[in-house]
Amino acid sequence: MACQGRLNIGPSRSPGRRQDSRAGAPSGWKVPTHGRLEETKDSDIVIFGSRIGVEDVLKDRAFLDALHLDEKRQLIGSMCGGAILLTENGLLKGRKATTYPTYFEKLATYEGVTPVHEGFVSSGNVATAGGCLSAQLLCAWIMAKAVSRELADSVIAAILPVGEGCKAFAGWGDPAAAKAAAGGCAGVERSTRDSMTLRV
């Protein structure tokens, strides 16, 4: 199955702005953005990142109102503090969720949300990841849900440390080759595989 699509990096604020918007990191690094937040309604996958200032975003009604999310037809995930935005959109009510340690106290204030100290938690088409190295778990979940578990296993095996299950990934752009490469993932140590359990 071929995987086609586009990557949109949306502005962190000012939903109506396009090319002149830039998303920033605490380090000062800026990423040019394109697309409007309103375009989330046409996205297959929506991921909320994290940065200092999540509390300020929560006060920005224009930002929150511009998001159009539907877990029935979209994969929706978050990294670290992004879980707070999922909660604001009602996506974590009745679910377990994780976040960065800074935001656990805030996450616990939302009714119906159960904060858990785990690297990755998913339920249906919604997932949360906590801690930078959990990004690989969120990415694997996306690949498994959007393409195939074989592809996810192959890619994860390709980024493991050498000597701890690393396998060359032969499937760049070729799902058939990815599936064949996934056959070699059986050599990944069980402890490593168990730590990357994906509830897909």
* Reported pTM: 0.73
Average pLDDT, stretch 132-161? Answer: 92
Contact 104, 54 (CB under 8 A): no
**H helices, E strands: number in the chain:** 8, 8
Q: Of the segments 131-145, 154-168, 176-190, which one has the largest average pLDDT value?
A: 131-145
Distances (CA, A) of 173 to 4, 68, 87: 10, 30, 35
Question: pLDDT tens-digit profile of 14-33?
Answer: 444 333 355 566 667 776 66
Higher pLDDT, 176 or 7: 176
Percentage of the chain beyond pLDDT 90 is 46
Question: pLDDT tens-digit profile of 29-71?
Answer: 776 666 788 888 889 999 998 877 788 888 888 888 888 899 9
pLDDT confidence of residue 174: 65
pLDDT confidence of residue 68: 87
Average pLDDT, stretch 81-102? Answer: 95
Confidence check: pLDDT of 177 > 90 = no
User: Smallest Cα–Cα separation from 98: which of 110, 80, 85?
Assistant: 80
pLDDT confidence of residue 197: 32
pLDDT confidence of residue 44: 92
- Structural tokens at position 132: 């930078």
pLDDT confidence of residue 31: 67
pLDDT confidence of residue 18: 39
pLDDT confidence of residue 92: 97
User: Smallest Cα–Cα separation from 55: which of 133, 114, 112, 107?
Assistant: 107
pLDDT confidence of residue 114: 97
AA identity, residue 12: S
Confidence check: pLDDT of 86 > 70 = yes
The DSSP line for 26-91 is TTS-EEE--S-GGGGGG-SEEEE---TTHHHHHT-HHHHHH----TTTSEEEEETTHHHHHHHTT-
- Structural tokens at position 140: 């694997």
pLDDT confidence of residue 25: 62
Q: SS3 for 102?
A: helix
Contact 119, 130 (CB under 8 A): yes
Provide the sign of the torsion angle of the four alpha carbons 79, 82, 84, 87, taken in this order. negative
Question: Which domains are present in the chain?
Answer: 31-146 (3.40.50.880), 149-200 (no CATH)
Give the side-chain half-sphere CA count within 13 A for 190. Answer: 0
Distances (CA, A) of 15 to 19, 35, 84, 158: 12, 9, 18, 37
Name the average pLDDT for the chain: 78
